[in-house]
């Protein structure tokens, strides 16, 4: 299994809702990432988990809350989002983070719309 899966594919939520995005990989990778991508822009790194511990938080607002329950699973909990948070949210994984051989495998993304 060489893929990263993400659910849901699409999500529409109001500003008062609480929702979660899910990401899963079964490649034995020990690093997992959340990226945010706006239209016509490159992905922007949000969070990095290494060995199930949060390693990097790129100054992301607290309305985004990541969670890594185990080495295969990564969640992104959403609460009180703003319309400008509407974007494609991409999950990625890589064998490790402690090396520059950092080939990342991306999931298909969740298209999030905040009303």
Partner 1 sequence: AQSVTQPDIHITVSEGASLELRCNYSYGATPYLFWYVQSPGQGLQLLLKYFSGDTLVQGIKGFEAEFKRSQSSFNLRKPSVHWSDAAEYFCAVASNSGYALNFGKGTSLLVTP
- Where do contacts with partner 1 occur on this chain (CB under 8 A)? 4, 6, 31, 40-43, 45, 48, 50, 55-56, 88, 90, 92, 97-109, 111
Query: Quick count: other Cβ atoms within 10 Å of Cβ 61?
Result: 11
Give the nearest distance from C-beta 109 to partner 1 in angstroms. 5
Give the nearest distance from C-beta 16 to partner 1 in angstroms. 27
Give the nearest distance from C-beta 62 to partner 1 in angstroms. 21
In the complex with partner 1, which residue's Cβ is closer, 45 or 80?
A: 45
Q: Using a CB cutoff of 8 Å and minimum separation of 24, what contacts does 44-53 make?
A: 47/76, 48/97, 49/74, 50/96, 50/97, 50/98
In the complex with partner 1, which residue's Cβ is closer, 18 or 99?
A: 99
In the complex with partner 1, which residue's Cβ is closer, 34 or 64?
A: 34
Give the nearest distance from C-beta 67 to partner 1 in angstroms. 18
**22: β partners:** 7, 75
Do the beta carbons of residue 38 and residue 87 sit within 8 Å? Answer: yes
Task: For residue 48, give Cα distances in angstroms to 29, 67, 82.
Answer: 13, 10, 23
In the complex with partner 1, which residue's Cβ is closer, 79 or 105?
A: 105
């Amino acid at each position: 299994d060489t893929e990263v899966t993400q659910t849901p594919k699409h999500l529409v939520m109001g500003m008062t809702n609480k929702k979660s995005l899910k990401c899963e990989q079964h490649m034995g990778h020990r690093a997992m990432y959340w990226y945010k991508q706006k239209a016509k822009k490159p992905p922007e790194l949000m969070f990095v988990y290494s060995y199930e511990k949060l390693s990097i938080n790129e100054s992301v607002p607290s309305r985004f809350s990541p969670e890594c329950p185990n080495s295969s699973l990564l969640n992104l909990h959403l609460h009180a989002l703003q319309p400008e948070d509407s974007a494609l949210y991409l999950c990625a994984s890589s064998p490790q983070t402690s090396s520059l051989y950092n080939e990342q495998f991306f999931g298909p993304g969740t298209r999030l719309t905040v009303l």
